[in-house]
Amino acid sequence: MRVIRTAAAQLGPIQRSEDRASVIARMIALMDAAKAEGADFIVYPELVLTTFFPRWYLEDRRDADAWFEATMPSAASAPLFARARTHGMAMTFGYAELTPEGQHFNTSILVDKSGAIVGKYRKIHLPGHVDYDPGRTHQHLEKRYFEPGDLGFPVWRALGGILGMCICNDRRWPETYRVMGLQGVEMVTLGFNTPSVNSQRGGEGLEQRLFHHRLSCQAGAYQNATWVVAVAKAGDEDGHHLTGGTLIVDPNGFIVAELVGEADGIIVHSCDLDETRFGKETIFDFARHRRVEHYGRITAQTGVVLPD
Ligand code: CDT
């Protein structure tokens, strides 16, 4: 058995007025609760240090830099790193990254038990749009504030296994999991901020959003024989509702733990990485069963090409 006792740590809403120190205090409280339940790995949501700011349109793009971190650990997040070291707790969380070269990414980091940053992922599948769109019920301006990630989908040997990360919208794309699956990934962690209503189709509400969320995570886990740990920021942020749906999926595609409600909270599960072996050695033994000679379109073309 290779068990990672994993805590999925959901954050309730973070209002625009809430500062980072307050958010970090909430994250530390969740970490303490995770420690009390014997966890040695805690997974936090996407862009966890602030409100989900891509809903706000700012005419001058540079004004958004107040939501970004130019260093990590930042001054505000240093107490979180310190508490993680004290607990011997590995962690992953998402934040808005401003690089020294002035690039902007929607980023997630993997931090080991000593507090060292051992992995970094930058979100590749950015949803939404660049300019203000009056036709939508709410804005989703990730394409305005971030560049697409430039690090691919790496995995890391950590915590006795092979771990990978993706972020929110990435979970809807089978390519995300497969690229990591081809590197033997045993646990994929992801944070998300999913609006409860489709801004372009009001009839698509919470129930359908949660259905697609679960469908995507369960399919990714099963088809690649990997654990998937998906963590929400949930509830009403300044009148904009985000789904919950924090969950842990086993390598057979079953949800083994799911958090009820929209407040700060954790679910904890002992994830045995050896449970990935059966799927990886049988139906999803890629070396024996994949037929790459027929998959050329996957990387050769982006959009649909219709037949004549
Ligand atoms: N944060 C994020 O990626 N949210 C998207 C919303 C899609 S609708 C623009 C998601 O996939 O949940």
Q: Does ligand 1 lie within 6 Å of residue 169's CB atom?
A: yes
Q: Which atom of ligand 1 is nearest to the CA of 171?
A: 11
Indicate if ligand 1 lies below 6 Å from the C-beta of 13. no
Cα of 88 vs centre of ligand 1, distance in Å, is 32
Q: Given pLDDT bands bounded at 50, 70 and 90, which one contains residue 98?
A: very high
- Residue 308 belongs to some domain of the structure: no
- Determine the distance separating the centroid of ligand 1 and the alpha carbon of 127, expressed in angstroms: 6
Residue 35 among the catalytic residues: no
Domain assignment present for residue 298? The answer is no
- pLDDT score of 63: 97
Q: What is the pLDDT of residues 108-167, one digit of tens each?
A: 999 999 999 999 999 999 999 999 999 999 999 999 999 999 999 999 999 999 999 999
Q: How many whole angstroms from 144 Cα to the centroid of ligand 1?
A: 14
Position 128 in a domain: yes
pLDDT in tens, 244-292: 999 999 999 999 999 999 999 999 999 999 999 999 999 999 999 999 9
Closest ligand 1 atom to residue 140 Cα is 9
Minimum CA distance residue for ligand 1 atom 11: 169
> Is residue 299 in some structural domain?
no
What residue owns the CA closest to ligand 1's atom 4? 194
Is 45 inside a domain boundary?
A: yes
pLDDT band at residue 218 under the 50/70/90 scheme: very high
- Site to probe by mutation for ligand 1, drawn from 133, 193, 206 as the one with most ligand atoms within 8 Å of Cβ, is 193
Per-residue pLDDT averaged across 165-192, rounded?
98
Q: Is residue 300 part of a domain?
A: no
Residue 181: per-residue pLDDT: 99
pLDDT of residue 276: 98
Cα of 53 from ligand 1 centre, angstroms: 13
Q: In which band, very low, low, confident or very high, does the pLDDT at 173 lie, cut at 50, 70 and 90?
A: very high
Of 46, 69, 97, 262, catalytic: 46
pLDDT in tens, 36-90: 999 999 999 999 999 999 999 999 999 999 999 999 999 999 999 999 999 999 9
* Nearest protein CA to atom 1 of ligand 1, as residue: 193
Dist CA 71 CA 235 (whole Å): 28
DSSP the chain: --EEEEEEEEB----TT--HHHHHHHHHHHHHHHHHTT-SEEE--TTTTS--GGGS--SSGGGGGGGSBSSSS-TTTHHHHHHHHHHT-EEEEEEEEE-TTS-EEEEEEEE-TTS-EEEEEE--S--S-SS--TTSSS---HHHH-PPPSS-S-EEEETTEEEEEEEGGGGG-HHHHHHHHTTT-SEEEEEE--BSSBTTBTT--HHHHHHHHHHHHHHHHHHHT-EEEEEEB-EEETTEEE----EEE-TTS-EEEE--SSSSEEEEEEEEGGGGHHHHHTTT-HHHH--GGG-HHHHH-SS-----
What pLDDT is stored for residue 15 in this prediction?
98
Q: What is the count of structural domains for the chain?
A: 1
169 alpha carbon to ligand 1 midpoint, in Å?
Answer: 5
Residue 31 is predicted with a pLDDT of 98
- Decide: 192 in ligand 1 pocket, CB within 6 A: yes
Give the mean pLDDT of the chain: 98
Q: 206 pLDDT band (50/70/90 cuts)?
A: very high
Domain around 81: 3-291
* 217 assigned to active site: no
Query: Does 149 fall in a domain?
Result: yes
Q: Is the CB of 52 under 6 A from ligand 1?
A: no
Q: What is the mean pLDDT of residues 91-116?
A: 98
The atom of ligand 1 lying closest to the CA of 46 is 1
In a domain, 302, yes or no: no
Give the CATH number of the domain where residue 87 resides: 3.60.110.10
Q: Is 166 a catalytic residue?
A: no
Quick check: 154 and 121 in contact, CB under 8 A?
yes
